[in-house]
Chains A and B, each alone.
Chain A
């Protein structure tokens, strides 16, 4: 066993004293710190709002030109003004918001149920190997099954009522949410799990403090997709299932437009379905996703 008995040579500069070190470190920190700034001005918002508005205006202009050019019959392609009249009429009767709310209420409640079922399901599939082998492939396979296929069996099992609607929503959205969470868990860097274990996180505490937050980006992406699936499934169910008990949602409005041969009503329904889908995404899921990514420094600012 070797050892050295070297004594300290006289230091000409002297060792850095504590105060010196603190100053040095403060300097390094100041030099190295990444400058993060919030979105600088409202102008960037204009940069993001102006292009889509231009696109919408362009579509309206082309639409109006096609109507003026009489490329097809009135009943096949109504003028934008005719659709707008439809909106106004529904608004004056006070039923426009009823249509929207009937569907949105169903859609959101169904989505929340899907969330409550899909989250633990995804966590179990991601973390328990046997369960994953057993139902993992089925779960991802279910995503490619159009949820409209569930409408006939749901009607037979549950009848023409709200439960049937919720069943269709759940069958459409639960696999998306669960799969999103599984993907999120799979992408967790192993280092986080090791770090969590050294800190003493195990079992449920690990799931709550480490696994769930680490999987959040994938989970939120799954939620976004889950909402899109909920909304689509609900529209499919509403178009097919007609009953006075169900009230008139956007799907029923669309189907009623077809039976009345009123193309302007059909257009109105399609527009509302589209607008609600986009609005929920824009108002809830996109801000949620941006917040998750930004707080982790994963959002590159352009």
Chain B
């Protein structure tokens, strides 16, 4: 029997600097054609305060890996240890339409056990952090796509988790808004010191944001290669250095995809 264990890192010596430790994780799903292996022996650490992007073509199991890390699903084999319950942000804002922007954040605080008196001021603080002061009473449908994702980010931060998992959070936004949110995310990441594991299929976005880019191969997902991105922040998506590394990573990614056409 393979060990299937999702545990919490709790003050163990040597693991204190790690926000997430994914060790030899595999995941397969039952399909009509039999067991399909989606993730194969993934080992990946996210250090405290680190920003890692997970990059891959479709079928690499990036979202599956995030679900496992978020504790929404269990690995078939291997262990995942995270520093507390991670916060998760989706491609769709996933804000509750029956609550106002502020109440969405307050619900996250409430479910975490924050006393009633502290919820409102804390929600205002988080809205200010994502530059939406004054949006507390706004209904979700009254906000633009970019504003919704910022409220969703504030709600995720309300969980006060050491680890923030982001599943293509800006993929549905227009290019201008996405570019601005990249800057915002970088600022908030520096201000809060949170560790981020960010999934994307956009190479430029991965390089623009990350300290480390992890490329997954597809079907099954394996760690194909990692790059440390030593480009100084603040970066722009148009920067030559970003472009240069993006070209290199894209070549590798195309190679991974090409392999699937050959057999």
Contacts and interface: CB of A to CB of B under 8 A. Distances in A.
B94 interface: yes
Contacts of B228: 3-4
Interface string A277-302: 00000000000000000011110000
A197 B67 CA distance: 11
A129 interface: no
Contacts of A214: 96, 98
Given A195-B90, A209-B107, A297-B142, A33 B147 contact: yes
B96 A8 contact: no
B145 A32 contact: yes
A3 B229 CA distance: 7
Given A16-B234, A191-B94, A295-B139, A8 B241 contact: yes
B96 A210 contact: yes
Interface string B203-233: 0000000000000000000000111111110
A191 B97 CA distance: 12
Given A7-B241, A205-B111, A32 B96 contact: no
A194 interface: yes
Contacts of A2: 225-227, 248
B87 A25 contact: no
Interface string B50-94: 000000000000000000001010000000000001111010101
B90 A32 contact: no
A6 B244 contact: yes
Interface in A31-62: 31-34, 36
Interface string A12-35: 000110100110111011011110
Nearest to A4: B245
A130 interface: no
A192 interface: yes
A296 B141 contact: yes
B17 interface: no
A200 B94 contact: no
A216 interface: yes
| Interface size class, chain B | 35 or more
A146 B85 CA distance: 52
Contact of A296 (B98, B187, B229): B98
A200 B110 CA distance: 10
A195 B142 contact: no
Contacts of B248: 2, 4
Contacts of B111: 199-201, 205, 209
Interface stretch (B1-9, B20-28, B115-123, B177-185): B177-185
B141 A6 contact: no
Given A199-B107, A209-B107, A297 B140 contact: yes
Interface string A203-217: 001000110011010
Contacts of B72: 194, 197-198
A5 B22 CA distance: 27
A11 interface: yes
Contacts of B90: 191, 194-195
Contacts of B234: 15-16
B144 interface: yes
A5 B230 contact: yes
B112 interface: yes
Contacts of B87: 198
A64 B31 CA distance: 70
B159 interface: yes
Contact of A16 (B183, B231, B240): B183
Interface string B145-156: 111000000010
Interface in A162-202: 191-192, 194-195, 197-201
Nearest to B245: A4
Nearest to A5: B230
Contacts of A11: 236, 239
Contacts of B239: 8-9, 11
Contacts of B159: 198-200
B97 A198 contact: no
Contact of A34 (B98, B142, B235): B142
Contact of A6 (B140, B183, B230): B230
Interface of B: 70, 72, 85-88, 90, 92, 94, 96-99, 107-108, 110-112, 131-132, 139-147, 155, 159, 176-177, 180, 183-184, 187, 225-232, 234-236, 239-241, 244-245, 248
13 contacts: A4-B231, A8-B239, A9-B240, A15-B236, A29-B144, A32-B177, A34-B143, A34-B144, A198-B85, A199-B159, A216-B98, A295-B98, A296-B97
Q: 4 closest pairs, A vs B, by CB? A: A297-B141, A32-B144, A8-B232, A195-B94
